[in-house]
Amino acid sequence: MDFVNREEIERKLARVLSKDLRVELDKLLNYLGDPPNLANVPPEYWQAGWKDIQKDVEPVLVDALLQQADDAMIRIGIGVDFDNVNRAAVNWARQHSEEVMQQIWLRTHEYTLDVLSRYSGVGEVIAQGYEEGLTIREISERLERMFSPVRAERIAVTETTRAVVEGERAYVAELERETGQRMIPIWMTANDELVCPICAPKNEKPITNGDYPPAHPNCRCGVGWEFPKDGAL
């Protein structure tokens, strides 16, 4: 399955994510201070810190979805009212990017608490005769991992997959609504040596359980469509 602009979308998404995560890490380190103190971080940071990132992510996802929906329309060759697809795209991207960012932020928060507990737990650890307390530098190095370009890249790949699959589905949903033509979703892996053992067996098989790609982080699978074999609508 080739997506014309897939790499470009991934790159764009990875770029905004890694830039925004970096900004948020700098804010966090600033709040924490030296020596780091979690009480210095205002609750709003964890409640709403993701909203600025969402603002940048959302339009990229809308774009990816619409490009793919357009691609699906050309491939399948039946026109639909694209205004409806547009509306679906905007609604989905708003809701989905909010969910994704909240999830990412929750994990980041938990990880930060974990890292800092190892800092403040020094006394306890020394009592066990085993030095595990972190220095400020180690804390910031560990936090960098959670705000890193590598993580940004992984999120970008996974969410690009979700947006392009959603684009396929948005077009087909509109097609089915307007014409009654049913389409059968087919799982399409990238079919290269990078495909994982989870996805490889699904390649070119119908999706019957409602579980669409991505199947896991970094999944690059997509969806294709077949007309029902019996010619049924």
What secondary structure does DSSP assign to 141-169, as a single string?
A: HHHHHHTSHHHHHHHHHHHHHHHHHHHHH
- Closer residue to Zn ion in complex, CB, 13/199: 199
Report the 10 Å Cβ neighbour count for 102.
13
Smallest gap, in angstroms, from Cβ of residue 26 to Zn ion?
A: 34
Calculate helix-pair angle for 51-76, 6-32, nearest 10 degrees.
170
Cβ–Cβ < 8 Å for 1, 222: yes
Smallest gap, in angstroms, from Cβ of residue 168 to Zn ion?
A: 15
* Segment interacting with Zn ion, rule: CB under 5 A, options 13-21, 43-51, 133-141, 221-229: 221-229
* Contact flag: residue 80 with Zn ion (CB under 5 A): no
- Closer residue to Zn ion in complex, CB, 17/221: 221
Site for Zn ion in 161-220 (CB under 5 A): 199, 215, 219
Smallest gap, in angstroms, from Cβ of residue 204 to Zn ion?
A: 13
Site for Zn ion in 126-165 (CB under 5 A): none
DSSP class of residue 39 equals G
Calculate helix-pair angle for 6-32, 149-179, nearest 10 degrees.
130
Number of residues forming the site for Zn ion (CB under 5 A): 4
Which residue's CB atom is positioned nearest to Zn ion?
A: 199
Tokens of 49: 């810190």
Which residues sit at the interface with Zn ion, rule CB under 5 A? Answer: 199, 215, 219, 221
